């Protein structure tokens, strides 16, 4: 019964957070649209790539759970296909709003080399254990651009409101246990771009560190314009972060060789 109440409470929290998030987006859009902006432009960006995992350290609960590394103690089970879809709304030359959906899910499997206590479940050494790591990210970003050298070199800064929907799950036969984490994270946004002909170099980052946790999403890449409305891009992305709190110890580092396309409307 307590688990049922906790699950219902978590679902209500998720609904309230998502409702607040999208209400904020709609409110921002309505306020800006009411200003009669003549510059309004939409950009859709789609990105995927190849991930390279460095570590994914887990200990749940923090004090009594066994510390293990999903990268070193397990093997990836199946393909990992990252996806990022972003909608940008440019309501002036220097002001932008961005809405990002970035799901990420990785499956693992291992004949574990030592006993693991995870949540309220014990897994024995040598037992075949399947693991799931999910980290879906939803973000709303405001960016303000500043011209440094004409229109070629620009830098920008802003704020990002991030909602994370995360899960770590272990299963073996009839044994299964999981830890869900759903919450809000404020981040600082930085941006720089340099245009040379039909090419464009880009640096972009969301991040914040402090207290028991941190979160970083850093991208560096280059793009090639194909006409006025399309751009192909390739680059390197780094995702790193986690938390060291009473209920959870989890820190992850993943590198991505990324490729994508931008479409302007």
Amino acid 1: pLDDT: 45
Site of tokens 């254990």: 129
Residue 248 tokens, joined: 């959870």
Amino acid 210: pLDDT: 87
What's this model's pTM, rounded to 2 decimal places? 0.84
Torsion angle of C-alpha atoms 109, 67, 246, 19, degrees rounded to 10 = -20
Q: Is the Cβ–Cβ distance between 145 and 96 less than 8 Å?
A: yes
Low-confidence ranges of the chain (pLDDT < 70): 1-40, 149-150
Q: What is the DSSP letter of 34?
A: T
Amino acid 213: pLDDT: 93
Taking CA atoms, 211 is separated from 139, 201, 208, 215, 242, in Å, by 21, 33, 10, 12, 11
Helix (H) or strand (E) segment spanning residue 221: strand 213-226
Sketch out the chain's domains with CATH numbers.
40-264 (2.40.128.90)
Amino acid 148: pLDDT: 74
Taking CA atoms, 180 is separated from 60, 110, 161, in Å, by 11, 22, 20
Q: Give 18-46 pLDDT, tens digit per residue.
A: 555 555 555 554 444 444 445 668 999 99
Amino acid 172: pLDDT: 97
Q: Is the Cβ–Cβ distance between 108 and 70 less than 8 Å?
A: yes
Paired residues of 214 in beta bridges = 209, 242
Q: Is the Cβ–Cβ distance between 167 and 144 less than 8 Å?
A: no
Amino acid 6: pLDDT: 44
User: How far is it, in rounded angstroms, from Cα 168 to Cα 245?
Assistant: 15
User: How far is it, in rounded angstroms, from Cα 242 to Cα 234?
Assistant: 26
Residue 25 tokens, joined: 């987006």
Amino acid 238: pLDDT: 98
The two beta strands, 68-69 and 105-111, are unpaired
Site of tokens 């006993």: 115
User: How far is it, in rounded angstroms, from Cα 65 to Cα 99?
Assistant: 36
């Amino acid at each position: 019964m307590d688990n049922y109440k906790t699950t219902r409470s978590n679902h209500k929290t998720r609904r309230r957070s998502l409702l607040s998030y999208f209400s904020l987006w709609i409110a921002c859009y309505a306020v800006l649209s009411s200003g009669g902006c003549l510059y309004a432009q939409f950009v859709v960006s789609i990105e995927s790539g190849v991930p390279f995992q460095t570590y994914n350290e887990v200990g749940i609960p923090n004090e009594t759970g066994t510390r293990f590394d999903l990268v070193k103690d397990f093997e990836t089970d199946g393909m990992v296909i990252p996806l990022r879809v972003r909608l940008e709304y440019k309501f002036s030359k220097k002001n932008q709003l961005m809405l990002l959906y970035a799901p990420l899910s990785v499956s693992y499997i291992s004949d574990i080399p030592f006993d693991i206590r995870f949540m309220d479940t014990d897994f024995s050494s040598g037992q075949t254990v399947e693991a799931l790591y999910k980290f879906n990210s939803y973000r709303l970003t405001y960016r303000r651009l500043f011209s440094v050298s004409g229109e070629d070199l620009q830098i920008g800064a802003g704020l990002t409101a991030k909602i994370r929907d995360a899960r770590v799950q272990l299963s073996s036969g009839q044994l299964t246990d999981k830890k869900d984490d759903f919450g809000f994270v404020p981040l600082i946004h930085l941006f720089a771009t340099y245009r040379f002909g039909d090419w464009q170099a880009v640096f972009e980052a969301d991040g914040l560190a402090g207290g028991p946790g941190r979160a970083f999403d850093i991208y560096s890449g280059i793009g090639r314009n194909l006409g006025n409305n399309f751009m192909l891009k390739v680059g390197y992305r780094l995702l790193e972060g986690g938390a060291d709190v009473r209920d959870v110890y989890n820190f992850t580092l993943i590198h991505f060789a990324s490729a994508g396309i931008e479409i302007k409307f």
